[in-house]
Chains A and B, each alone.
Chain A
Amino acid sequence: MLSLPRTRWQRRLRRYGLAWLGGGIVLAWFLIAALAPWIAPWPPDAVDVTRRLIPPSSAHWLGTDILGRDVFSRLLHGARISLLAGFTVVLLGAAIGTAVGILAAWLRGWGEEALMRFTDLVLCFPPIILALALAAALGIGTTNTIIAMLVVWWPKYARLARSLALVQRSQEYVEAATVLGLPQKRILFRHVLPNTFGPIAVLCTLDLGIAILTFAGLSFLGLGVVPPTAEWGSMVSEGRELVEQWWVATFPGLAILTVVIGFNFLGDGLRDWLDPKAQR
């Protein structure tokens, strides 16, 4: 294919433009989540049955739901729970998984075998179904749903961290550090761990979108949040039979879509930046 000469700026924009866009979307949602109580025009839980199912108008930008609550205000407040749940699951899941993976790579022998077989065991369950079973066992609520998701979330990080740590182990700098007589713990924490950060950070960013989708899905099924808490998944669920009043379900879904796309762009950009050879 013929490639035209491009200026450096054009190449940069081409390579990282979407990543900046993704970062912008994510940042915007963060600001919305932080400022929701101040920028929302109505209280998110204010029920007013005389104003139910009003189409989008100047008073209610995105209309009202079946209980007369302002969809726009609930949407802004919903950002808090979605982002909080997504970040908690991914960060804790990554921390647990990375610890297990690196420990496995360091132990070798039967310790590694036991840890990795356990990881495989959790991976052999379909994630949403297992999370659903756990969330049902623990009871409805944001914390319980996050715990249920954590149980199924860490294994992919354990696998990634183990393979990264195994690669690092055989690197010359680790041998050099060993020859120098540095303690194993120091080599592990100061040398191996930092070198595995890049790919794990990329996985985390891409994973945030998936975690937010999954949490919204569990909420949609009625397990995520306790009503009347404003949450995107449960908002879609509340509007799922209102085809005529399309605004009730459409806008919270669009909110999920944009935040997931934002994290995808950001994650792809991060991967290209950390590993320019793997340009896809």
Chain B
Amino acid sequence: MPSYIALRLISAVAMALLASLVIFLISNFVPGDPVLAQLGDILASDPAVVAEWRAKWGLDLPLWERYGLFLKGLLHGDLGTSIATRRPVLDDIVQFAPATVELATISFAMALALGIPLGIAAAVWRDSWIDAVARALSLLGVSAPTFWLAFIMLAIFYGWLGWAPGPGRMDPIAFPPEGPTGFFLIDTALIGDWEGFHDALAHLILPAIVLAAATLGLITRTTRAAMLDCLQQDYVRVARAKGLVERVVILRHALRNALVPVVTLGGLAYANLLTGAVMTETIFAWPGLGRYTFRSAAALDFPAIMGITLVVSATYLLVNLLVDLSYALLDPRVRR
């Protein structure tokens, strides 16, 4: 077991290094000239200033030395400076991340809480009405464009019915809590501001449902397929022959084995929520990483886009690592 973990850690670090190399190479092939972008027209017309600037940022060095500098910067948390906000990209990301993590976590919890039971029920009562509902729901979830679903939900529940509050994390006239975590639900609860908590929660529900839709579809579908597979296995027949209650057979014997593919997919799906957040946050005016990504892409703010790619890729790698390690808990055969 320890050697398995060590091996996975080493390969994850190697992958992260390679990924940073890829990102470095892409940002070096940008058609736009960073000198012009950073210095502006007037300063960039003076060759001496340009040469000094290039030397200062190491742009006159050979490619591999610049990669070394880039890595050194990364280790110091330097992801470059955003052209649009004129702030270090890392500061931007730290500021916007909590809003996205809060939204993604709530949606993921919703998708799991609904998707796994629905998948189990669909497999146990195969071809029944609940199976039909589960299949229709998962088909719609994976087929509907997130950005469109966000628009529709907002148009119906905010614009037409008026049941949900409008875009944003809180009411525009409310004072958002100041720290310490940046998660509004936690921050308001910590200072006992229940009115703010309620406001934040109300604003969270609609975007969370939209973001959860695709994940819910995938989780339901995978749970159903894995359960159908497990329910046909010999050990399930043995368990039934022993006279175990059906509930025990399904939950202890079949489900535990069916969870392995669900965990794999769940890990990936959580990381994918960050992608879905780009669309959802844009429409719900949610001040998170997704909207920051959208704005950076629209403004062709290259340092910001590369910084986000790097951070999200690192998250992806970390989630994959955790998923692999969790196999060891779920499946004793991996430990050997």
Residues of chain A whose beta carbon lies under 8 Å from any beta carbon of chain B: 1, 120-121, 124-130, 132-139, 209, 213, 216-217, 220-223, 233, 236-237, 239-240, 243-244, 246, 249-250, 252-253, 256-257, 260-261, 264, 280
Contact = CB atoms under 8 A, between A and B. Distances in A.
Given A125-B313, A130-B309, A246-B159, 14 more contacts: A1-B125, A125-B19, A128-B275, A129-B312, A132-B305, A132-B309, A137-B27, A137-B302, A220-B145, A221-B298, A249-B155, A260-B143, A260-B144, A260-B145
A125 B282 CA distance: 22
B127 interface: yes
Contacts of A240: 147, 151, 282-283
Contact of B151 (A135, A244, A249): A249
B15 A236 contact: no
B6 interface: no
A136 B297 contact: yes
B145 A132 contact: no
Nearest to B144: A257
A236 B148 contact: yes
A134 B142 CA distance: 25
Contact of B279 (A137, A217, A264): A217
Q: Is the interface of A mostly helix, strand, loop or mixed?
A: helix
B145 A126 contact: no
A209 B142 CA distance: 10
A217 B271 CA distance: 17
Question: Chain B at the A interface: mostly helix, strand, loop or mixed?
Answer: helix
A223 B279 CA distance: 13
B158 interface: yes
B228 to A, nearest CB: 7
A222 B297 contact: yes
Given A243-B154, A244-B159, A280-B228, A126 B147 contact: no
B145 A264 contact: no
A155 to B, nearest CB: 13
A265 to B, nearest CB: 8
Nearest to A118: B18
A240 B127 CA distance: 38
A228 to B, nearest CB: 17
A257 B298 contact: no
A10 B293 CA distance: 50
B145 A253 contact: yes
B225 interface: yes
Interface string B267-279: 0000110110011
